[in-house]
Amino acid sequence: MSYTNDKTFISINDAAQVVAAYGDKITPILIGEPGIGKSAVLETLKTMLGDEYDYIYVDCPSKDYMDIAATIPDHDTKALENTSVRCSS
């Protein structure tokens, strides 16, 4: 899993191109304030790729990478531990 916080701004079309090119290998996370174009990227992907995929928009009020983590219960200590989720194939 990789993460960048370089504040790179790209157009809606460029973002859709990145998701289309790499979305089957990585999970892109688009972060931005309301109205910046996240939903428009999904609509652009639908136009580009047609009915080949099921399109799902998940709205998460996350502001930081660490907000996207699984809370794992430690049954021995009765505490919760935040652990980033890793998927492997």
Q: pLDDT digits over 1-41, tens only?
A: 445 556 667 889 999 999 999 988 888 888 777 888 889 99
pLDDT at 87 over 60: no
Nearest partner of 5 among 66, 71, 60, 61, judged by Cα: 66
Buried b (16+ CB within 10 A) or exposed e, 37-59: bbeebbebbeeeeeeeeeeeeee
- pTM for this entry: 0.57
Q: What's the pLDDT band for 65 if we cut at 50, 70, 90? A: low
Ordered by start, the domain boundaries in the chain are 12-83
Taking the C-alpha atoms of residue 30 and residue 38, their distance in angstroms, rounded to an integer, is: 6
Q: What is the mean pLDDT of residues 60-68?
A: 60
Q: Which residue has the higher pLDDT, 72 or 28?
A: 28
| Amino acid, single-letter form, for residue 35 | G
